[in-house]
Amino acid sequence: MARFILTRLGQTLVTLALLTILIFVLARLTGDPTPLVLPSEATEADRAFFREQYGLDRPIHEQYVVFLRNVLHGDFGISFRYREPAFNLVLMAIGPTLQLAGVSMLVAVMLGLPLGIAAALRPGSWLAAAVRAYASFGQAVPTFWSGLMLIFLFAITLPLLPSSGYGEVENFVLPAVTLGFYASASVTMLTWANMTEALRSDFVQMERVLGIPRRLIVLKHALRNASLPIVTYLGLQFGLLLGGAVVTERVFAWPGVGQMLVDAILNRDYPVVQAAVMLTAVLVMTINLAVDLLYAVLDPRVSRS
Amino acid sequence: MSATAEERPAGAGGLLGARLWRSGAGRPPLLATAICLLMVVAALGGGAIAPYVPDEADFTAILVPPAWAEGGSLAHLLGTDQLGRDMLSRLIAGARISLLTAGAAVLAGGTIGVTLGLAAGYLGGVVEAVIMRIVDAFLALPFILMALAFVAALGTGVGNIILVMVLTNWARYARLVRSEVVSIKKRDFVLLARVAGLRPWQIALRHILPNALTSILVLAVLDVGRAIILESSLSFLGVGIQPPDVSWGLALAEGRTYMTVAWWLTVWPGLAIVLAVMSFNALGDWMKAGFDPRGRL
């Protein structure tokens, strides 16, 4: 077990280190940021001073060391646009994104779990076929379109809900349904597969023979057995939700990291781009690592293989 | 693959299509196949099929509704946009961009990924460790975020978007091929080939690669759907395809402003994306059921 934990931890650290190299290389591909940062009336001496300060005049590997040291201190530079530390800006935006992802996850589970269980209970039925259709539709619908259609229906045609904004409970409804619907497709399929397996298992068959009520078997025993992989998967799904949140935030003008990242790209505000990408990466990788370790604790077979 | 096909070396099962037909996958999804073909025809035909030039404005026919709606005309079956451009022609032009970017991303990304995966799986050791850690780094982020990081550095437009999609795509192929190679190279026929004195690259190309081909093909077809979503997402966000080029995602973003007065501007491009992605996914799932009944992909 200890060996497994150390290996996974090591892998994560190596991946993170490689990711910093990747982001560093990408940042250098964009060229010299000096003209973007300094006003056009800056003198050549000003520019030289700036380059020296950010280490831009040094060899590339030294620049990387400077970059890495700054990143480890949470210093991604000053936003060209807002004249504030990029890291602080992204930290402020991460809250709304996590809230949206969390509520969407809830929606996804509330939709996906019952659908998956229902389909597993009646294999080959029209219900199972309908659930399959729902899942393949959900996987194919981009969130920017489902979001726009929901706005069209519930904010324009029937003016029931706000189409944008942040802060009130009703602001959550449309974005969370948009993102939750998208994520519910894979939750449905996963629940279906795991429930089918659990229902086939020897002990469930045994309980049937013993005449234990079906409802009890399904809810108490089969679901409990299927829940471990489902819960694990939900953790991994969180990364997917953060990705989907980028687009959803744009549709609903949600003040999250995704919105900030896209704005930063459009404004060539690279410190913010780097900070947003790095912070999300650390978040996603930490969650994945935690899920893996938790899974290994709950199911010791994992760490032995 | 059935148990008997498993022991056969080097894709000895005849044509892929025939093998699929005989496998347990059942009939191909006809509607999905038809939609995929329609999209390919639209992409190849382009200007020859489209009734109008997709980016030609016509200020005498602005925001004309679809032909069957009130105020619609048969001259523009699916209506026109805020500049009087024909929606059907724009959808066809969008199909072309979608398939061009998706196809390039799948082909180039697939080639790079397969090569690196083959090298990692066959050579093992340090090469494998280095390649696979790089693969992990490229897969560490949700693909849309990774793509945005690349866009920030490379810029927008068709060429850059293809490059971005290749960069976000290759790692999945490398991971798949590596795991296939690791399991294939332990099999008897590979050992035999080695004993017979074949060079490593000959074994890798002639004996290992053909056996991994079906999985690669399934991944590639499923990847087309993912690539269509990625391109349209980037274009919708304003960091993908740029005007005057036409993309479904871009059309959606432009049509959004007119949603209250012209629903067709946002409904058609969205439907096109959904139908295309569902069809490629259905095709891929069908192939997966035939080639990979144990669901390793």
pLDDT band per the 50, 70, 90 thresholds, residue B2: very low
Answer whether residue B7 shows pLDDT above 50: no
Is B274 in Cβ contact with A140 (below 8 Å)?
yes
> Nearest CA of chain A to the CA of B10: how many Å?
29
Beta-carbon count within 10 A of B285 CB:
18
Task: Output the CA–CA distances (angstroms, integers) from residue B27 to B14, B18, B280, B287, in the order listed.
Answer: 18, 12, 16, 10
Beta-carbon count within 10 A of A78 CB:
18
Residues A185-202: pLDDT tens digits? 989 998 888 888 888 777
Answer whether residue B97 shows pLDDT above 70: yes
Residues A19-74: pLDDT tens digits? 888 888 887 777 677 776 777 777 888 888 877 776 677 777 888 888 888 888 88
Rounded CA separation B179/B216 (Å): 12
End-to-end distance of chain B based on CA atoms, in angstroms? 13
End-to-end distance of chain A based on CA atoms, in angstroms? 11
Residues B54-73: pLDDT tens digits? 877 787 777 778 878 777 77
Answer whether residue B33 shows pLDDT above 50: yes
Answer whether residue B1 shows pLDDT above 60: no
pLDDT value of residue B11: 41
Is A142 in Cβ contact with B229 (below 8 Å)?
yes
Rounded CA separation A184/A4 (Å): 31
- The residue of A148, A149, A252, A279 whose CB has the most chain B CBs within 10 angstroms, and thus the best one to mutate to test that interface, is A148
Q: In a 10 Å sphere around its CB, with 0-12 CB exposed, 13-18 middle and 19+ buried, how is residue B268 labelled?
A: buried
Answer whether residue B112 shows pLDDT above 90: yes
Residues B128-144: pLDDT tens digits? 989 998 998 888 888 88
Rounded CA separation A259/A272 (Å): 11
State the average pLDDT over residues A260-274. 88
**Contact criterion met (CB below 8 Å) for B223 and B106:** yes
Is B138 in Cβ contact with A243 (below 8 Å)?
no
At CA B246, angle to CA A27 and CA B97, rounded to 5? 75
Instruction: Tell me, yes or no, if A280 comes closer than 8 A to chain B by beta carbon.
Output: yes
Is A250 in Cβ contact with B236 (below 8 Å)?
yes
Instruction: Tell me, yes or no, if A287 comes closer than 8 A to chain B by beta carbon.
Output: no
Helix (H, G, I), strand (E, B) or coil at A119: helix
Selected residue with higher pLDDT from A182 and A82: A182
Is A22 in Cβ contact with B137 (below 8 Å)?
yes
- Please name the residues in contact with A161: beta carbons below 8 A apart, sequence gap of 6 or more: A154, A155, A170, A173, A174
Residue B204 is encoded by which pair of tokens? 């890798």
Rounded CA separation B73/B86 (Å): 11
CA-closest candidate to residue B228, choices B103, B122, B61: B103
Rounded CA separation B2/A123 (Å): 24
> Nearest CA of chain B to the CA of A265: how many Å?
5
What percent of chain B has pLDDT above 90? 31
Cis preceding linkage at B9, omega within 30: no
Amino acid at position A284, single letter: V
pLDDT value of residue B22: 60
Instruction: Tell me, yes or no, if A189 comes closer than 8 A to chain B by beta carbon.
Output: no
**Contact criterion met (CB below 8 Å) for A198 and A230:** no
Domains in chain B, ordered, with CATH?
104-291 (1.10.3720.10)
Beta-carbon count within 10 A of A137 CB:
15
* β-strand partners of A85: A78
pLDDT value of residue B12: 39
Instruction: Tell me, yes or no, if B274 comes closer than 8 A to chain A by beta carbon.
Output: yes
* β-strand partners of A265: none
State the average pLDDT over residues B147-162. 90
Q: Which of residues 145-164 of B touch A (CB under 8 A)?
A: 145, 148-154
Helix (H, G, I), strand (E, B) or coil at B24: coil
Chain B CB contacts of A246 under 8 Å are: 144-145, 148, 237
- Out of A90-104, B190-204, B212-226, pick the least confident: B190-204
Task: Output the CA–CA distances (angstroms, integers) from residue B192 to A54, A55, A229, B198, B207, in the order listed.
Answer: 58, 57, 40, 9, 11
Domains in chain A, ordered, with CATH?
88-256 (1.10.3720.10)
Residues A240-256: pLDDT tens digits? 888 888 899 999 999 99
pTM of the model: 0.87
Answer whether residue B3 shows pLDDT above 50: no
